[in-house]
Amino acid sequence: MTSKLFDLTGRVAVVSGAAQGLGRAMALALADAGADLLVVDRNGDGVRQTADDVVRLGRRAIAETADVSDSVQIRALFARLDREYGQIDFLGNVAGDGTVGAPEEISLADVELSWRNLVFGRFCSCQEAGRRMLARGRGSIVNIGSIASVTALGRGHIAYSMAMGAVVQMTRELSTEWSGRGVRVNSILPAQIINPGLDARIAAEPELRNQFLKGIPTGRLGHPDDIKGLAVFLASDSSSWITGALIPLDGGNLAMNSGGTNPTCTATKGK
């Protein structure tokens, strides 16, 4: 049974990117704590699977197939939310990938695509959710950022980093504008968390794994389930005085100076 501190019974949550990875883990954790869900992803089969799993946890779930880089599709899903639930208590803005390319070579179309996926999509969803939450005087929003929101990654991440930097400014501005009217806005900043894309990159370039681990003092990559407790906490009233926060989910990455040494990593022993 969920502790009363984190009980989400009677709450309605919208989570994007819910077919897999962090979005799916977030949706299942919120359902486990008592929330009903509207889950969104461009992967229809995947998001329906997540909705089925939410129902298995005893909660109500609606699966919506949509591309969150498109405001028309975002508005349509919020219209469906109004029809089906008439309420939103939590928004998890998780979906959206970036494009990779060297700053001197990346096409402006790819830069725009990253911006559309990560900034425009999150903002449009915040606007739709925020209007409804402000009308009721309560709500919580989490915008997933990245360690790239506050520090540079290199390796061709210019478009992604610029977009993720904008995501945390969005969070700060919206928190400042809305928290006095009951709507909290926070960001979670993950470091490398295993997903199929990361698995493929590590398979193609095995040394990457060690490179990532050198920056993670806990000595392991993240797992999507690592977001579960934080998501429930931020959706619950236990976090009612936490807003505008940028919360690392990074095994200690941001705390460690990038020039520092991870004492648990054999590759850096004695260096």
Residue ranges in contact with ligand NAD by CB under 6 A: 17, 19-23, 41-43, 46, 67-69, 94-97, 117, 144, 146, 190, 192-193, 195, 197-198
Which residue number is nearest to ligand NAD in terms of Cβ?
21
Residue number with CB closer to ligand NAD (12 or 144): 144
Residue number with CB closer to ligand NAD (97 or 237): 97
CB of 93 to ligand NAD, least distance (A): 8
Tell which residue, 146, 37, 34, 145, has the closest CA to residue 91. 37
Tell which residue, 102, 90, 123, 119, has the closest CA to residue 235. 90
Residue number with CB closer to ligand NAD (198 or 245): 198
CB of 47 to ligand NAD, least distance (A): 7
Residue number with CB closer to ligand NAD (8 or 124): 124
| In the block, residue with structure tokens 């969150």 | 68
Q: Residues 235, 89: contact at Cβ < 8 Å?
A: yes
- Three-state DSSP at 77 gives helix
User: CA 202 → CA 145, 206, 212, distances in Å?
Assistant: 22, 5, 10
Tell which residue, 176, 65, 72, 184, has the closest CA to residue 120. 72
Q: How far apart are CA 221 and CA 94, in angstroms?
A: 19
The pair of structure tokens assigned to 163 is 């977009």
* 160 catalytic residue (yes or no): yes
CB of 240 to ligand NAD, least distance (A): 25
CB of 75 to ligand NAD, least distance (A): 14
User: How far is CA 81 from its chain centroid?
Assistant: 20
Bin 8: left if φ > 0, else alpha if -120 < ψ < 50, else beta.
alpha
CB of 256 to ligand NAD, least distance (A): 16
Residue number with CB closer to ligand NAD (138 or 201): 201
- Annotated catalytic residue within 90, 120, 160, 212: 160
- Three-state DSSP at 180 gives helix
So which residues are the catalytic ones?
160
